[in-house]
Amino acid sequence: MCRLLGYVSRRPVTAGGAVGTDEVRAFADLARVHCDGWGAAWVERPGAAPQVRTSERSAERDPAFADQHAGHPAVAGLLHLRWATMGLRVAPENTHPFLADGVAFAHNGSLPADVLADLLEPAYRAGLRGTTDSERYFALVRQVRAAGTSLPGAVRRVVSLLAVRAPRASLNALLLDEASLIAVHASAHSRLHPDDDELCRAAGLPQDHLDDYFALRIRRTAEGVQIGSTGFGQAGWEPLPPDSVTTVRLADLSVVTEPLDVAAAAHRPVDQEAADVRP
């Protein structure tokens, strides 16, 4: 499980400038539990390729995290705090965001290992660097996009399918490319394991973090749009619709939220599922 924070701004600003320095510090404070590394992605101007920086250190104790959110002005960016799924290594190849094919991807959740096993083409399996389900989820999105589907369309198709195959999994994610920030809010049936919940309570994390761990929220201001997990920030945040994909365009800050097509995905035969996600 992880924490997510993304922003789009009318002009290049730092993450602290876009979201607020105090709110970014409160976000970093969640690394008391989400301590298995951090990562950032940013786009300096619309049309530019995203850049990525990651670390296996806890954001709470890593001076590089402060340097990141206080520097690197950009029109869009995302931050990720990792809480590694049990059994997965804390290592560079497993640290989010992943970057491939001009897209950065960060995930909050976990998927059973067999959910993606029969969907990835050999070329995409061969390109995997780490051992996380998150990287495989991202590879499937890229595989569908390679067939000529738009990035938001590929995300909706993949998430709709995975939501049927793993209805209790959290598919929450942020994606960033040269044109848009995309937020997946698909975790309506996800719950923290009781042991993880107790760990968060013992660490004294904020109550909204405990009440709805997997919720994603959006905030619109005169200067931009922000999307983030619970546990930090108070004023102006509103819940994103459940089972939805939200796209924020870098060029004009327009926001489009589309529902997942879970009902249609549920009625597709297994062989049609595979056909739907292969180039």
What CA–CA distance (Å, rounded) separates 231 from 252? 29
What CA–CA distance (Å, rounded) separates 36 from 62? 12
Q: pLDDT per residue over 202-254, tens digit each?
A: 878 888 777 889 999 999 999 999 999 999 987 899 999 999 999 999 999 99
Over the chain, what is the mean pLDDT?
90
What beta strand segments (E) does the chain contain? 2-13, 38-43, 51-55, 74-82, 98-100, 103-108, 172-176, 180-185, 216-221, 224-229, 238-239, 244-249, 255-259
Nearest to 69 by CA among 61, 81, 57, 78: 78
Residue 118 has what pLDDT?
A: 86
Residue 59 has what pLDDT?
A: 92
Secondary structure of residue 142 in the 3-state scheme: helix
Beta carbons within 8 Å of 24's beta carbon, 6+ residues apart: 5, 15, 16, 69, 79
Does residue 277 surpass a pLDDT of 80?
no
**pLDDT tier for residue 278 given thresholds of 50, 70 and 90:** low
Q: pLDDT per residue over 255-267, tens digit each?
A: 999 999 765 554 4
Q: Which two tokens stand for residue 209?
A: 């973090």
- Mean pLDDT of all residues in 159-168: 93
Does residue 271 surpass a pLDDT of 60?
no
Q: Check: pTM over 0.85? Answer yes or no.
A: yes
- Mean pLDDT of all residues in 159-165: 93
Does residue 273 surpass a pLDDT of 60?
no
The 10 Å Cβ neighbour count of residue 235 is 7
Beta carbons within 8 Å of 263's beta carbon, 6+ residues apart: none
- Mean pLDDT of all residues in 194-207: 83
Give me the amino acid identity at 114.
D
What CA–CA distance (Å, rounded) separates 177 from 101? 9
Q: Measured at the alpha carbon of residue 173, what is the angle toward residues 169 and 178, in degrees to the nearest 5? A: 155
Q: Which is more confidently placed, 84 or 97?
A: 97
Does residue 89 surpass a pLDDT of 90?
no
| Residue with the two structure tokens 């495989």 | 136
What is the domain partition of the chain in residue ranges?
2-276
Q: Does domain 2-276 have CATH number 3.60.20.10?
A: yes
Please name every residue paired with 257 in a beta bridge, in sequence order, or none if there are none: 246
What CA–CA distance (Å, rounded) separates 271 from 50? 35
Q: pLDDT per residue over 46-66, tens digit each?
A: 999 999 999 999 998 899 998
Maximum separation of any 2 CA atoms in the chain, in Å: 50
User: Rg for the chain (alpha carbons), in Å?
Assistant: 17
For the chain, what is the total number of helices (H) and then of strands (E)? Answer: 10, 13
